[in-house]
Amino acid sequence: MTLNSSIKKRIEDFLKSTIVDYQPVGGGCISNASKIKTQNGDVYFLKTNSSTSNDMFIKEAHGILELQKANAIKVPSVLLFDNEFVLIDYIASGKKQKDFSEDFGRKFAMLHKFNNDEYGFYEDNYIGSNPQLNIASDDEKSNWTKFYFNKRILYQLQLAEEFGNSTNELRNGISALENKINDIVTDNGEQPSLLHGDLWGGNYLIDEDGYACLIDPAVYYGNREADLAMTKLFGGFDSRFYSSYSEAYPLPDGYDYRENIYKLYQVLNHLNLFGGGYYLQAMSMVRYYI
């Protein structure tokens, strides 16, 4: 694999140094990832993909920049981005410190204490390669229940219809959920929190100091319980992470009951990204409430 000449020139002009090494890096399932080194010895991380949506890298960069505002947990610095690529700091990997999980939990809680007055975000972005709708209507901006059902659950059902992943069972189940949603999803009286939006074990790194660095966000402002639910879907977080989080920012009563409704969004998204293997899991989460 070689680096596109126009992208290479843009980066070299920006960095004012020649790229002397370009090495593909594994791990990405949507974009091509690489480690580049310049003549002056600096190392960077580059993502490219000619088949992605035109603004995917722009939205990713905006998400990282939003997370930086909280000054709560490490994220890479964004250096340069456009429709074709995003260039960020290269995060050298290290060995976990003994207090890695406790530190991660506390900092994640600090991130969630960074608030906004309204739900959503100033732009739509992506969850994986699927669109994530963040631009709220006037009644959704102050109503988490409406925002979450319309922009998360209902939109994923619409995608399932479009992609051929829906069934009468799923339609009827989500219709039944809609009738009960006000009893399930609440705003708990908290202000909208800044959410990573897609935090699973593959979306954080262990940096050279041995602590967590967040990558690949799908940010918006919402109920923090949605972020925590995602961390429980695919592993990568231990009991010390959750206990430290709860100590720093205790969760409202009833979180355990609401957890499945927040997992449902991510599982429906995986159904629409990867197909029917996630269907039964989605239906089990729907049936939990109906």
Q: Which helix (H) or strand (E) holds 207?
A: none
* For helices 56-70 and 100-112, angle between their N-to-C axes, nearest 10 degrees: 100
Note if 198 is an active site residue: yes
Can you say how many angstroms the Cα of residue 248 is from the centroid of all Cα atoms in its chain? Answer: 22
What is each CA distance from 86 to 64, 83, 168, 226, in whole angstroms? 11, 8, 41, 27
Which of these is catalytic: 21, 89, 117, 198?
A: 198
Contacts of 198 (CB under 8 A, 6+ apart): 127, 128, 216, 217, 218, 230, 266
Measured between alpha carbons, how far is 290 from 134 in angstroms, rounded to an integer?
27
Cα dihedral across residues 113, 114, 120, 126: positive or negative? negative
Active-site residue list: 198
